[in-house]
Structure 1
């Protein structure tokens, strides 16, 4: 009898589990069996909180469980590559929080591990399977804004907590890896292209050393995409796609709500030269549940996953170029992969 459900384990008790674990447990083709921590008490508290049957007192104990098919990794950034490799070597598929690694070289090592073990590894960019982003891409492809010319975006929040891992440069903290990666992946997704060059400015926190503000220009072979990100500005996020005949604005592009519809503003120039605007609503959904379902179904069917590791490597490649540009003060041409 064919298997119809992927049994999941969660590697770590990170705060993001509050958004992910319950929707994943309820999602189609998924069930979450248990959660692991290096501390038994933390694992048990998390298992109780999320209604899971099993608490593992070590990461190794979870990987040794033969009932676990796939592992969700919400660990700090510097641990992503190591534990993703350990998971696939233990025979488990992996859905790993973004960023998939600290740089493109680490993404390349994960591709090698995937090919060697035959297990899937996917970066958990939940936005990429959200219906609102699939709709944005289809609207652009259908010519709703004419010829796409420019993309603009922003993603910011305010966090100066010295104990927050996102403010620890030694373990992969900083704004680009945490939130700057979102305008990059969505720009790549909607344009269907890879940027050929980038230019960037970055401001670093004098105490933490992490990048707290970045401004980026990406050239997608004639389509210009600009965005800024910050970990020390009031909360804000928006993405816009500007064409010769119109504009699409994504109201809540990244932290999409799961309790109300998401909305896209479509502005189009009429034959009389007047801009007509209308809001398009997408049905209520949970983007974490969708991401888990799509990945689980790919495992069950053996089909190509929604976000292959080659895509994650390409996104890391852009981030590497952004850091290089900010350091050198010059534009950087992105190498071919």
Structure 2
């Protein structure tokens, strides 16, 4: 089994706590390089997870010939441009959710992946959880009948008013951060698309 060498763009908590440890613990993955706007943050995370290369420039990861695949845990509004750059550099991409801010961006990313003959995946971990797989199989086999309603919820407390999740210009907001899980889960479980959409937002 060949080893996949990973480059990481950013030092987000999800990268530090979940994804980088998973890469390092996998049978055929190895974190090779990490970049941050702050070289201190990049070097600290590299030291914490035994990553041999740390950069203060995302492009340095993309131009590193040893990097096979790139993980992108950047703020939402940066998913589209940096995914396109990574694909253009010949890298496979695992991009954090939401993949893009709109359908036009998402289609451009999918088209770029196809043109580059590289894999592009949105980072929804729930699809690989045994519980989710079991639920999907129950529905597919008809063991619970024909579903007529699915309700999803994902909430947590976020007290920092300066967090990027509160900044629309950075692709923030409840739908983009947590609501996308429910939308994705419903579509994936039922293998169907919505025929009507209604939204209600509260600001402040």
Equivalent residue number for residue 202 of structure 1: 201
Once the two structures are TM-superposed, the CA of residue 57 in structure 1 deviates from its matched residue by 2.4
Once the two structures are TM-superposed, the CA of residue 97 in structure 1 deviates from its matched residue by 0.2
Once the two structures are TM-superposed, the CA of residue 66 in structure 1 deviates from its matched residue by 0.5
Q: Within 2, Cα distance between the matches of 1:4 and 1:89?
A: 23
Once the two structures are TM-superposed, the CA of residue 146 in structure 1 deviates from its matched residue by 1.7
Normalized against structure 2, the TM-score is what? Answer: 0.95
Q: Within 2, Cα distance between the matches of 1:43 and 1:74?
A: 13
Normalized against structure 1, the TM-score is what? Answer: 0.58
Q: Deviation above 6 Å: which 4+ runs of structure 1?
A: none
**Structure 1 segments unaligned to the other structure (5+ residues):** 206-337
Q: How many residues align?
A: 203
RMSD (CA atoms)? 1.3
Q: Within 2, Cα distance between the matches of 1:145 and 1:115?
A: 37
Q: Does 1:25 align with 2:24?
A: yes
Q: Within 1, Cα distance between the matches of 2:152 and 2:57?
A: 40
Secondary structure of the residue that 1:157 maps to in structure 2?
Answer: coil
1:221-270 Cα offsets, whole Å, 9 max, x none, are xxxxxxxxxxxxxxxxxxxxxxxxxxxxxxxxxxxxxxxxxxxxxxxxxx
Q: Within 1, Cα distance between the matches of 2:110 and 2:146?
A: 35
Equivalent residue number for residue 64 of structure 2: 65
Name the one with the larger strand percent. 1
Q: Which structure's CA Rg is the greater one?
A: 1
* Structure with higher RCO (Cα < 8 A, 6+ apart): 1
Equivalent residue number for residue 118 of structure 1: 117
Equivalent residue number for residue 142 of structure 1: 141
Equivalent residue number for residue 213 of structure 1: none
Q: Within 2, Cα distance between the matches of 1:125 and 1:179?
A: 11
Equivalent residue number for residue 2 of structure 2: 4
Once the two structures are TM-superposed, the CA of residue 143 in structure 1 deviates from its matched residue by 2.2
Secondary structure of the residue that 1:143 maps to in structure 2?
Answer: coil
Q: Within 2, Cα distance between the matches of 1:178 and 1:57?
A: 26
Secondary structure of the residue that 2:22 maps to in structure 1?
Answer: helix
Q: Within 2, Cα distance between the matches of 1:198 and 1:58?
A: 40
Once the two structures are TM-superposed, the CA of residue 189 in structure 1 deviates from its matched residue by 1.1
Once the two structures are TM-superposed, the CA of residue 11 in structure 1 deviates from its matched residue by 0.5
Q: Within 1, Cα distance between the matches of 2:185 and 2:39?
A: 38
Q: Within 1, Cα distance between the matches of 2:87 and 2:62?
A: 9
For the 8 Å contact 1:160–1:167, the answer to whether it is kept is no
**Structure 2 segments unaligned to the other structure (5+ residues):** none
For the 8 Å contact 1:73–1:95, the answer to whether it is kept is yes
Once the two structures are TM-superposed, the CA of residue 98 in structure 1 deviates from its matched residue by 0.4
Q: Within 2, Cα distance between the matches of 1:38 and 1:159?
A: 24
